[in-house]
Structures are given as structure tokens and as C-alpha cells.
Amino acid sequence: MKIERFSKEHEWIRVAAGIGTVGITDHAQRQLGDVVFVELPEVGRKAGSGEAVAVVESVKAASDVFSPVSGEVVEVNGDLAGAPALVNEDAEGKAWFFRIKLASEAELAGLMDRAAYEAFVKEGS
């Protein structure tokens, strides 16, 4: 079963078999505007929950991408280096940033489901 959760920093994570795929939300990419550069973490990097592990740059600003959970980065999306605009085209799909092996699935309880995230965004986060 796949679990989908969202952070207050506008990252999404989809977890299956202890591995989480992480990216930024569609809301976040709309706020950024045209994405021109993505810096991904190194495979093997250990990350704490809420730790900045990647960077996304747009014509407007540069923003950190935070790991929504603790764990070890096991894969990065190499497609983003050559095509950062994928983030604008499919932020919650093909434009995932990294995959992380979760240290503890219990951390997912501190994140929002889609309905809670959409309410959070509506409140003007």
C-alpha cells in the first residue's frame, strides 16, 4: 500500500515498502514560477526530518527542498538536471527529486494527508 503525505514546507512524499519518493507540490512550483535549476542530494546522504537536502531555483527565487522524514537518500531523479522545467510540467509526478529509505515510518504521522494539505494551502500558508 502506498502512503502519500505532505509537509508544511510544501514537499510531498509517497511511501511504499519503506522507500519514500519526495518532490515539491504543485502549489510550490506555481509559487516559484519557471524552474531553471535543480540541485539534488548525493546518493547515500543521511538526512534528518526537516533538513534541507536539495535546492530548486526559478527565475524568481531559490528555495531549499526539505526531507519530510529521516533516512538515507537511495536514488535521485537524474532527469531533473538536464530538464529542470519538468518541475513546472509535472511537480507531483515525473519531477520527483529523490527517494529516501525511511528511518522510521512513524514520522509520517507528523505530516498531512492531501485533504489537510489542501486546507493548509487554502488558509494562506
Give residue 28's pLDDT band: very low, low, confident or very high (50, 70, 90): very high
pTM as predicted? 0.96
Residue 125 domain-assigned (yes or no): no
Whether residue 123 is predicted with pLDDT greater than 70 in this model: the reply is yes
Total of domains in the chain: 1
| 125, burial (CB in 10 Å: exposed 0-12, middle 13-18, buried 19+) | exposed
The torsion angles phi and psi of 107, rounded to 5 degrees, stand at -60, -25
Give residue 46's pLDDT band: very low, low, confident or very high (50, 70, 90): very high
Average confidence (pLDDT) over 1-7: 91
CATH for 20: 2.40.50.100
pLDDT tens track for 84-112: 999 999 999 999 999 999 999 999 999 99
Residue 74 domain-assigned (yes or no): yes
Domain ranges, residue 26: 3-120
Cα distances from 116 to residues 13, 33, 54, 72, 119, in angstroms, run: 14, 24, 25, 27, 5
pLDDT tens track for 71-87: 999 999 999 989 999 99
Residue 33 domain-assigned (yes or no): yes
